[in-house]
């Protein structure tokens, strides 16, 4: 009878790191050190040291204001190439491709993760002048981007207040909405019209119209999956074109969200 030997693993710190990353990945909100230690059965001292290392290499993000941790964008970046190839929902891909082909402008698909928007697919315009520097795997802040504001408008009051209280609104351009009151007014407008606008707020020279992608179950529970947007250079943003784009985005939003029901 052949002798069965158990393979000895090297590096218990890696195993403990995996416990932390798995817990953060499964958590819907950023977590404090005490919660991470308790749920991974590590001591606070051990968890803190591992988190410091994970933060240093970009696998974990620490919110300096409320001292909570979430999955870092470096991990998302590593997986984004495969994510972009996955047919998560064929009808989403096809309909966003349809939106892109109709106008030949840049269309983005983003997922809502760790209080950011992560771009997971991009349909690039073939026009000779394109001033949109986005890339798959790139993250955008919710308060300044078209997709981000569309998502913010879908949050309930508790989650929205938590986001506002734990984030500094840094102006990316001279048009960025960096005031809480102005942002709240903007979000109310988005709820009423059904789409968001980024008028050079995240990147100079770029106008963006976005809409949230949500799944509402039979009992009325809503899950925010992400958002999509169409972006154009500001010099092409005529009143007529913006009306056409906003109408198309609303139509596509209804089709996509209905497909989850």
pLDDT tens column, 172-223: 999 999 889 999 999 999 999 999 999 999 999 999 999 999 887 667 778 8
Given a contact cutoff of 8 angstroms between Cβ atoms, the answer to whether 120 and 83 are in contact is yes
Q: Measuring CA to CA, which residue among 120, 122, 142, 141 is closest to residue 133?
A: 122
Q: In whole angstroms, what is the distance from residue 139 CA to residue 199 CA?
A: 18
Task: Return the pLDDT at 64.
Answer: 79
Segment holding 209, helix H or strand E: strand 206-216
Does the global pTM surpass 0.85? no
DSSP state of 117: E
Q: In whole angstroms, what is the distance from residue 184 CA to residue 111 CA?
A: 22
Whether domain 79-258 has CATH 3.10.20.30: no
- For 65-83, b/e burial (b = at least 16 CB within 10 A) is eeebbbbbbebbbeebeeb
Q: 12-71: which CATH number, 3.30.360.10, 3.40.50.300, 1.10.150.120, 1.10.10.10? A: 1.10.10.10
Structure-token pair, residue 20? 């932390």
Which portions of the chain are predicted below pLDDT 50?
1-5, 80-89
* Domain locations along the chain: 12-71, 79-258
């Amino acid at each position: 009878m052949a002798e069965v030997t158990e393979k000895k693993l090297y590096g218990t710190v890696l195993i403990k790191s995996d416990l932390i990353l798995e817990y953060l990945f499964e958590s819907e909100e950023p977590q404090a050190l005490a919660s991470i230690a308790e749920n991974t059965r590590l001591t606070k001292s051990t968890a803190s040291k591992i988190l410091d290392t994970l933060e240093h290499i970009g696998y974990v993000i620490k919110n300096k204001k409320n001292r909570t941790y979430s999955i870092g964008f470096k991990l998302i970046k590593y997986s984004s190439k495969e994510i972009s190839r996955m047919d998560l929902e064929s009808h989403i891909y096809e309909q966003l491709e349809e939106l892109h082909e109709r106008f030949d402008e840049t269309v983005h698909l983003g997922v809502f993760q760790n209080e950011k928007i992560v771009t997971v697919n991009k349909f690039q315009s073939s026009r000779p002048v394109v001033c949109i520097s986005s890339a798959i795997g790139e993250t955008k802040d919710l308060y300044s981007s078209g997709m981000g504001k569309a998502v913010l408008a879908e949050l309930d009051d508790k989650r929205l207040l938590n986001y506002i209280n734990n984030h500094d609104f840094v102006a990316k351009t001279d048009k960025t909405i960096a005031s809480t009151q102005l942002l709240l007014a903007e979000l109310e407008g988005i709820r009423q019209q059904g789409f968001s606008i980024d008028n050079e707020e995240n990147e100079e020279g770029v106008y963006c119209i976005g809409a949230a992608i949500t799944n509402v179950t039979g009992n009325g529970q809503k899950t925010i999956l992400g958002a999509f947007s169409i972006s154009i250079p500001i010099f092409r943003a005529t009143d007529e074109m913006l009306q056409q784009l906003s109408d198309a985005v609303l139509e596509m939003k209804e089709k996509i969200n209905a497909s989850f029901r």
